[in-house]
Amino acid sequence: MQRVRIVGTGSYVPQEVITNADLERLVDTSDEWIRSRTGVVERRRAAKDQATSDLALDAARAALAMAGRAVNDLDMIVVATITPDTYCPSAACWLQSKLGMTHGVAFDVNAACAGFIFGLSVCEQFIKTGSARTILFVASEVMTRTVNWSDRESCILWGDGAGAVILTADGEEDGSPLKHGILATNIYTDGTHGEKLQLPGGGSRTTPISHESVSADLHTLRMEGPDSFKIAVRTWSTACLETLEATGLSVADLRWHIPHQANLRMIEAVAKRMKLQMSKVYLTIHKYGNISSATVPITLDEVVRTGQVAPGDLLMLSAFGGGLAWGASLVRW
């Protein structure tokens, strides 16, 4: 089996900033409520002419540059998204076209906000078994196009952006401890709670799109916020601890926990259950909000580009979202 290593990261967020004050003008809310209940201060919104693959393209180019790799070096493109440009072709195929890549394969992975951990797991399998050598993996979302702007409980959470990693084979496993690379990734789902976080319209259940489906708000996100909050804290922290346990490492060994930026109180509750101090948890929720699958790689890219991770540091990446789906990955940088 091949070892798998992250050799480059990149990210992109659109220019337009939506502040809590902007949302106060839209719904019955306040900056104080949003900050204290979610941790979000502002978020980004894609321009009208930007779709998911456009955001992904900028993040991909930055990751390729950091990795010193060219498009010709790639065997595969994987995109994690729940907001593809179109349902067919996939966002990954649009991205492949924008990169001018005429070889290899490209496909999407959908695990909602946990998409980055699921996509990482998929990429790992291809590289470990020798089916692919170098993969561009991007998580990209235009969440603001799925938002019900009259639902004050959820419209305050979401933003747009993309984060990318270049994953590559790093030599055969030989039983010696891994110096750099992905140590373990665990993914989990429980479809019986699917209704708690969903975008009901647009699929085969409701198409063709009708006046009725639009007026019933079926094409915007719905969430049973407090319920999914409770389930998330338990399952998410367990996933992190199980992933550590699988490698014989402990919370004390972590340099950073880079969690999905869903809600600051959720992130704090997960850290508390893990007995992890918040000084080891990296946050970007205040400036970007919840960008679904893209929050983890955007945050990872910030940690890397600001020089806050050194070779050999242990990073935990983790996420929870619709499905329900959740997971965690341990990376030796």
Q: What is the set of active-site residues? A: 113, 260, 290
Q: Does 290 bind ligand UT7 (CB under 6 A)?
A: yes
Q: Which of 81, 144, 263, 284 binds ligand UT7 (CB under 6 A)?
A: 263
Instruction: Give start and end residues of each alpha helix (H) in 10-145.
Output: 20-24, 31-38, 52-67, 91-98, 115-128
Contact (CB, 8 A) for 229 and 196: no
Using CB under 6 A as the binding rule, the residues of this chain from 24 to 43 that contact ligand UT7 are 29, 33, 37-38
Cβ nearer to ligand UT7, comparing 116 with 126: 116
| Among the listed residues 228, 235, 299, 329, the single contact to ligand UT7 using CB under 6 A | 228
**Chosen residue from 199, 200, 225, 280 binding ligand UT7 by CB under 6 A:** 225
At residue 287, what is the residue type?
Answer: K
Smaller CB separation from ligand UT7, 270 or 331: 270
Check: CB of residue 206 under 8 Å from CB of residue 200: yes
Distance in angstroms (rounded) separating the CA atoms of residues 201 and 168: 37
200 Cβ contact partners less than 8 Å away, ≥ 6 residues apart: 206, 218, 219, 222
| 114/183 with CB nearer ligand UT7 | 114
What x-and-dash track marks residues 136-155 binding ligand UT7 by CB under 6 A?
Answer: ----------------xxx-
Q: Which residue is nearest to ligand UT7 (CB)?
A: 225
Can residue 262 be called a binding residue for ligand UT7 (CB under 6 A)? yes
Min CB(113)–ligand UT7 separation in Å: 4
Neighbours of 33 (CB within 10 A): 14
Number of residues written out for the chain: 333
Query: How far apart are CB 245 and ligand UT7 at their closest, in Å?
Result: 24
Residue 321 and residue 256: Cα distance in Å, rounded?
21
Cβ partners under 8 Å of residue 226, min gap 6: none
Closer residue to ligand UT7 (CB): 76 or 114 = 114
Task: Please check whether residue 300 is in contact with residue 163, taking contact to mean a CB–CB distance below 8 angstroms.
Answer: yes
Number of other residues whose CB lies within 10 A of the CB of residue 15? 9
- Residue numbers of the site for ligand UT7 (CB under 6 A)? 29, 33, 37-38, 113, 152-154, 156, 197, 223, 225-226, 228-229, 232, 262-263, 266, 290, 320-321
